[in-house]
Amino acid sequence: MSLYSKRGVSAQKEEVHKATEKLDQGLYAHAFCKIYPDYLGNDANWVNLMHADGAGTKSILAFLYWKETGNIDVWKGIAQDAIVMNIDDLLCVGIHDNLLFSSTIDRNKRLIPGEVLEAIISGTQEFFDEMKTYGVGIHYLGGETADVGDVVRSIAVNGTMTARWPKKKLITNDLIKAGDLIVGFASAGQASYETAYNSGIGSNGLTSARHDALHKEYARQFPESFDTGLPEEVVYIGPNRLTDMVEVAGYAATDVGHLLLSPTRTYAPLMKILLEEHFEAIHGLVHCSGGGQTKCLKYLPAPFRIIKDNLFEPPVVFDLLKNASGSDWREMYQVFNMGHRLEVFTTEAAASALIAAGESLGLQGKVV
């Protein structure tokens, strides 16, 4: 059994898929998100979508870093994580404007004061304001903030995003065909719309990342930060403190905390360009989130064989995690994105134009 499984989590979410297998799968079986008829407008040429996701256990890392350093700004990154895990999934069906967002924050009030809530909520609006400058309109419709200390140990930050969208502008993955190339866009580095180096960690696999990287002292100091029913041998087994410094080639040195807490990169500014200027060249889109580099296998319209033989060099954060945990490469590539999160299925003729669009925003892209 893998360390990931021993910690009570699953990269492939088999039990979740089994629990939902009898639900309506929507209008397009291979689309990255479920797409439904236009129940809101009752127009056969439009569709409705609703998506729910969140920052997951990354909020526990923010809690630890905030307690250790007093840096309240890390909570703004958690706000971005909860948003991007929604919007970047919806980008993969072609939606890039006029989105509605509602946040859901559950906290243990004894441990999470109002200043943390303020940082998360203000961070949410700041992210929306930034995306608006790139032509991506997201409307913040409030949400629910609940004090439920008997339910959550620290805080859970989630959100729901919805949209009404014309059918003719959808990406359903039904056009993916044999011979297509996959253009991947890097999850790490510093895009033109980012203010610092992004490690590329995203918001998946953070349970393992936290326990693999961090020292056992965190278990003793912050028992509220983990499931105390877990076997001790899988709890905080790493060598690192959050404030330990790490060298990143080509960028200023940073610490372990910032590597693990890098806000999940959004590809919204890039996808705005690709979907408006290169729509016909896009045969399919996949967001390599849960399931890492195996995610694409779930969204193929036929039993194709996918060959990824030109992947990105794993960013430094994944080397750190592999060295700390001793995990094999197979598990690493199933749990983490390992260097790119956005995949565009396209033709050989169009690939260079898509890559150039990424370069205009400081996003490295290549045929993977």
Q: Which CATH number does the domain housing residue 67 bear?
A: 3.90.650.10
Q: How far is CA 207 from CA 40, 182, 299, in A?
A: 38, 29, 26
Whether the per-residue pLDDT at 367 is higher than 60: the answer is yes
Q: How is residue 162 written in tokens?
A: 């919805």
pLDDT, tens only, 161-216: 999 999 999 999 999 999 999 999 999 999 999 999 999 999 999 999 999 999 99
User: What single-letter amino acid sits at 9?
Assistant: V
Which phi and psi angles does 3 have, rounded to 5°? -55, -40
Do the Cβ atoms of 89 and 51 come closer than 8 Å? yes
- In this predicted structure, the answer to whether residue 32 has a pLDDT above a threshold of 80 is yes
Average of per-residue pLDDT values in the chain: 94
> Rounded distance, CA 70 to CA 116, Å?
11
Q: What is the pLDDT of residue 59?
A: 97
Q: For the chain, give the longest Cα–Cα distance.
A: 58
- The residue range of the domain holding 209 is 3-367
State the pLDDT at residue 25: 79
Compute the radius of gyration of the chain from its Cα atoms: 20
Report whether pLDDT(21) > 80: no
For residue 24, the model assigns a pLDDT of 76
% of the chain at pLDDT higher than 70: 94
Q: pLDDT tens, 310-356?
A: 999 999 999 999 999 888 999 999 999 999 999 999 999 999 999 99
Q: State how many domains the chain has.
A: 1
Residue 227 above 60 pLDDT? Answer: yes
Q: What tens digit of pLDDT does each residue of 114-159 get?
A: 999 999 999 999 999 999 999 999 999 999 999 999 999 999 999 9
Say what the pLDDT of residue 2 is: 62
